[in-house]
Amino acid sequence: MRVVVVEDDAGVAAAVIDGLRTHGFGTVDHLTHGLDLLTSHTGYDAVVLDLGLPDVNGYLVLRQLRKVSTVPVVVLTAEGDELAAVSCLRAGADDYMVKPPRVGELAARLEVAVRRWQATGSCTAVVVTGDVRVDLSARQVEVAGEAVALTQKEFAVARVLVEQAGAAVGREQIMDEIWGEKTPSTSRSLDVHMGALRAKLNRPGLITTIHGFGYRWAR
């Protein structure tokens, strides 16, 4: 099981990470900034998300994340901040714990959330278009039965389009969801990753360019 802990407080992060490893979580990675989670959440089975982050409020991070991912999220809240906890649950958090969390209990809550996710997520996470098959939860893409190796960013671009297959998706939305910002630099990055994604999939017509707006993944 792969977990990422997003927490800028070194002491809390170390305690949580050590504790989760002790409780049998195989990979426990650490991020200190919310935007880093938005660019590298794929491949994780669960997220532990602190709300007080140095760059972006954890609640906003959660809302952005929920546009592109159903990965289980357990939020860490400050003591007495019940309002924040309720907002997060409404915005799609699976659970919350008050800091500092009892790590055994956090591990148990993560396991429950992941089990629930795996039971319900698997049927809707596969999108098939022609001979292209995208498995969002396994992060696997196959074309004509052959696995295609995508980078994290290429997969992220594919995911945003696939989750709205058949609909036009604006470039701004894609940049916002993957990089958290719209700048000339992220715009160029999007062009590069889109070009690479199209080349690897090698299915002209699968991703249509809508000039002046964005892209559409065929349904």
User: Footprint of Ca ion on this chain (CB under 5 A)?
Assistant: 8-9, 50, 52
Rounded Cα gap, residues 176 and 130, in angstroms: 28
- d(C-alpha 75, C-alpha 189), whole Å: 31
* Closest to Ca ion by CB, 49 or 157: 49
| Residue at shortest CB range from Ca ion | 52
Give the separation between CA 37 and CA 4, rounded to whole angstroms: 8
Nearer to Ca ion by C-beta: 51 or 162? 51
End-to-end CA distance of the chain: 32
Q: Which residues contact 206 (CB under 8 A, 6 or more apart)?
A: 129, 130, 132, 198, 217, 218
3-state SS, residue 22 = helix
If the CB atoms of residues 78 and 138 are measured against Ca ion, the closer one turns out to be: 78
Q: Which is nearer to Ca ion, 102 or 115 (CB)?
A: 102
Least distance in angstroms from the C-beta of 47 to Ca ion:
15
Shortest Å distance, C-beta 78 to Ca ion:
9
Provide, rounded to whole angstroms, the least separation between the CB of residue 14 and Ca ion. Answer: 13
Q: d(Cα 170, Cα 111) in Å, to the nearest integer?
A: 36
Closest approach, Cβ 12 to Ca ion, in A, equals: 7
Q: Which is nearer to Ca ion, 52 or 92 (CB)?
A: 52
